Amino acid sequence: MYAAPFAFTAEQEGLRAEVRELLHGDAVQRELAGLRGLRPQPLPRAAYRALGARGRLAPDWPVRYGGLGASLAEAAVVAEEMALCGVPDSARVNTIDNAGRTLLAAGDDRQKAAHLPAMAAGETLCCVLYSEPGAGSDLGALRTRAVRDGQGWRLSGEKCWNVGGHAADYGICAARTGGGASRYAGISVFMVPLRDGGVHIEDVPGVIPEMFQRMVLDGVRVPDDALIGPCGGGWQIVNDALTLERTGVYLYGRARRWLDLLDRLGAVPRSDERAVRLSEELAAARLLAWDCVARLASGEEATAEAAEAKWWTGELASRVARLAWRTRPAWEDRCREGGARGADPAAAELADALCEAPALSLAAGTSEMMLATVASALLDPARPDDGPVPPDGTLGDAAEAVV
């Protein structure tokens, strides 16, 4: 599909231009300017619906489900362009990349027809209910349980660090339905409606713009067809759904935009040695991310490559944010002029970036877990790339050796 290191087709470049034009429309730009500096940050619904109405929000999905029937590469083009245009992406990642990809890979025809078209149109939003107190990156420690109840299931447990739960319609929930040979066996995935009784949602105070939520599932009953894929097969489903998010394409776009904002605000001109060095590293990070996308789009197994790309781009984005922090005297006053929203949307967006950046090394898997995955592939070629990380700490030692 790509020449070395990669090249976009004319169709992909056309898609990029169309997405950029849609996101620079007046309605979308007004919405984006208005949400800067607000807590919690509202979801950019106008942006999602503008893309969804044209089949551009999920271009790799089949046409019958609201997509264009394109490939994973086209989905990555959209994700990158959204980041470069400053569109908050958590709802798209959770709805399209995670929930939607889970349904596409493991759902049956009825589940796909019932949920995917509205998700692709930007009308139905989802959040991800994986992490729990004491079970963040390691799903083997999760305690939420799903118990058989007639023709359905009852789910009980606590989920934390969820983004977008206050506005989501459904949650993709990992729950334990049994035991097995390892801690990763007996995990299943459910599509849980969040507006039904038994789901208690509360905000978790923090600095990130979109705000975390804590959700308690108090015996929530779901029908049998809420189970996605085979009972007990959730570990593999969850790992497969995170692959595109881990390519680093969106993280690269965020970092590139933040560095451009520093130039626009006169804080760090493009000619500044620090900006030049970061620009060079960003160019290399983009090659790494898109090489990973190309592998996945061609059907290759690229779990370790995706972990590598996610680790590097996430850490690089944090370094760009640290530069913004060090140079804030040159731009932060513009956030205070004209009220909380800021007279200068660029300055307000950069202030939001300082709050967002710490989470980039955590979302979709912590940097430490990404290093462990890479170490597993480098130091133990006999281990499958997508196998569970053992809880005995051996890969942590291997990760230190890689660093």
Give me the pLDDT at residue 242, please.
63
- pLDDT exceeds cutoff 80 at 391: no
Where residue 389 falls among pLDDT bands split at 50, 70, 90?
A: very low
Mean pLDDT on 352-363: 84
Rounded Cα–Cα distance for residues 216 and 219 (Å): 9
Give me the pLDDT at residue 137, please.
63
Give me the pLDDT at residue 62, please.
96
Mean pLDDT on 163-177: 91
Contacts 24+ apart (CB under 8 A), 39-46: 39/209, 39/211, 40/166, 40/203, 40/209, 40/210, 40/211, 41/88, 41/209, 41/210, 41/211, 41/352, 43/88, 43/91, 43/125, 43/164, 43/167, 43/210, 44/87, 44/88, 44/91, 45/122
- pLDDT exceeds cutoff 50 at 402: no
Mean pLDDT on 211-220: 91
Give me the pLDDT at residue 175, please.
95
Q: Which domains does the chain have, with CATH numbers?
A: 10-125 (1.10.540.10), 128-237 (2.40.110.10), 239-402 (1.20.140.10)
Residues 12-44 pLDDT 10s: 999 999 999 999 999 999 999 888 878 778 889
- pLDDT exceeds cutoff 90 at 362: no
- pLDDT exceeds cutoff 60 at 101: yes
**In terms of pLDDT, which residue wins out, 368 or 11?**
11
Give me the pLDDT at residue 191, please.
96
Residues 221-269 pLDDT 10s: 999 999 999 999 888 888 776 666 778 899 999 999 999 999 999 999 9
Question: For 231-240, 308-317, 358-367, which range has the lowest pLDDT when averaged over its residues?
Answer: 358-367
Q: Residue 192 in 3-state DSSP?
A: strand
**pTM recorded for the entire structure:** 0.85
Where residue 341 falls among pLDDT bands split at 50, 70, 90?
A: very low
Residues 108-147 pLDDT 10s: 999 999 999 999 999 999 999 998 988 776 777 889 999 9
Contact present, 163 and 362 (Cβ < 8 Å)? no
Where residue 387 falls among pLDDT bands split at 50, 70, 90?
A: very low
**In terms of pLDDT, which residue wins out, 65 or 246?**
65
At 236, list the tokens.
Answer: 């593999």
